[in-house]
Amino acid sequence: MLNYSIRQLGQALRHREFSASELTEALLQRIEQFNPALNAFISITPEQAREQASTADARLAANTGGPLTGIPLAHKDLFCTAGVRTTCGSRMLADFIAPYDAAIAERCQADGMVLLGKTNMDEFAMGSSNENSFFGAVRNPWDRQCVPGGSSGGSAAAVAARLVPVATGTDTGGSIRQPAAFTGVTGLKPTYGRVSRWGMVAFASSLDQGGMLARSAEDCALVLQAIAGFDARDSTSAQHAVPDYSATLDDDLHGLTIGLPKEYFSTGLDSDIEQRIQEAIDEYRKLGADFREISLPSSALAIPAYYVVAPAEASSNLARYDGVRYGYRCEHPRDLLDMYTRSRGEGFGTEVKRRIMIGTYALSAGYFDAYYLKAQQIRRLIREDFQNAFQEVDVILGPTTPTTAFALDTQTDDPVTMYLNDIYTVAVNLAGLPALSHPVGFVAQRPVGLQLIGNYFNEGRLLNSAHRYQQVTDWHQHLPPGCADSVHQ
């Protein structure tokens, strides 16, 4: 079962090769075996999982199940789940139990998926390494002395180690794609508004987008089919028809024009990663794709613009955590002001405090025009760059990250260097575009990811392109060393 795709698992369940309950037990045992070393999960839900698996088996027996019925998953721990704590990787919400399910959780449950637990993450999704969690750092299954990437590092590590076939994630500036690249899995960040954000704890509301991490583009297509679509409860949800993503996976790539931004292949990109990307370009060319060099002239401004916009929105969104209504409250406050300051000071970690301070400064009177307004103007230029490019090409291709996974504790004291890990990903969020990262090989036994960027609501083309590549390569099927020693193979 370890190397089954979601489609293969679904077929095996429907053909009664094994039951959803047996699959769930096998993965719960793997989580028990491997999670102590990886720290990929914050909460594990065995009782709920067994109950949902039993319900899935009943649906399968009655032939009323769908393609995802009985498929186990994990949710990033910022999606609200009724009766299960939602911590956001923070002391502030360490004991918070949501009274309702997020839209993504609702839709997965409605399709009969089985929740195994909630995955570890950078606190309030702020980070590129998953070292900022109140519950400790997540370790990369490929090299446990390295980071898995962030902020969806727990989800990425869980999928890479085959603890779960798919896990949800969120992407504010690359937080699905970057950990996907670092751990050798496939991660999809849909178009802004494609997937409901209702019940997803906010970091930066104009940038946040839910998505998923799985082994392959085919797996991502099946899950996106379930979670995409309009939701009236989310004011940013797009009323845009959801196509059948699986129906176009095998479409021919002849006639596809892929753009190569010259800015993405310049100084700063590791030469060995560039070589892996070039090898992948050769494979895409064999599949029939044409290539054209393009320019995204404002891309150099993406990092500074993002690190004004995102902290500004975070400072507003996180103002609600004041120790009054819910979340962490300090002990024995002297007065109301003391309760506010100590609750926030003790409840938030260093990176969250840093971004709140930056964001509050950028929004303050006298600096708003110089920083926040200017960043929004740059954001418009970045969006126009992409739209101009999509007049010439169908898809844009480049590296996901400038390096492979770096060692734990090597960048935590240098936030600027840490922020530069997102140099190829943040522009996509500023423009609201869909993007996907898939594995294309290794450098020094560490995975390398390639990024595909599409035009608005063109997730189907990204999934099709990645799937065709994965049909002729096997990088997405590699298992990290030490993750196969289980009795359930």
Print the SS3 string covering 130-167: CCCCCCCCCCECCECCECCCCCCHHHHHHHHCCCCCEE
Domains of the chain in sequence order: 6-251+435-477 (3.90.1300.10)
pLDDT of residue 488: 43
pLDDT of residue 247: 98
From 19, 43, 76, 246, the catalytic residue: 76
Q: Does the annotation mark 76 as catalytic?
A: yes
From 128, 133, 151, 315, the catalytic residue: 151
pTM of the shown model: 0.96
Pairing of strands 257-261, 446-454: unpaired
Q: Tell me if 188 sits within 8 A of 434, measured CB to CB.
A: yes
Burial label, 486 (beta-carbon count in 10 A; 0-12, 13-18, 19+): middle
pLDDT of residue 487: 41
CA distance 202 to 78: 8
Write out the H or E segment, with its range, that includes residue 321. Answer: none
Q: Does the annotation mark 118 as catalytic?
A: no
pLDDT of residue 267: 76
Best CA proximity match to 120, nearest among 44, 193, 55: 44
pLDDT of residue 419: 85
Q: What is the pLDDT along the chain (489 residues), one digit of tens a residue?
A: 788 999 999 999 999 999 999 999 999 999 999 999 999 999 999 999 999 999 999 999 999 999 999 999 999 999 999 999 999 999 999 999 999 999 999 999 999 999 999 999 999 999 999 999 999 999 999 999 999 999 999 999 999 999 999 999 999 999 999 999 999 999 999 999 999 999 999 999 999 999 999 999 999 999 999 999 999 999 999 999 999 999 999 999 999 999 999 999 987 899 999 999 999 999 999 999 999 999 999 999 999 999 999 999 999 999 999 999 889 999 999 999 999 999 999 999 999 999 999 999 999 988 999 999 999 999 999 999 999 999 999 999 999 999 999 999 998 888 888 888 899 999 999 999 999 999 999 999 999 999 999 999 999 999 999 999 999 999 999 999 989 865 444
Q: Does the annotation mark 262 as catalytic?
A: no
The per-residue pLDDT for range 45-64, each reduced to its tens digit, is 999 999 999 999 999 999 99
The per-residue pLDDT for range 421-449, each reduced to its tens digit, is 899 999 999 999 999 999 999 999 999 99
DSSP 370: I
- One-letter identity of residue 92: M
Q: Using CA atoms of 402, 407, 410, 416 in order, give the dihedral in degrees to the nearest 10.
A: 20
**How many CB atoms lie under 10 A from the CB of residue 354?**
14
Token duo for residue 142: 């490929």
From 133, 152, 175, 299, the catalytic residue: 175
pLDDT of residue 262: 96
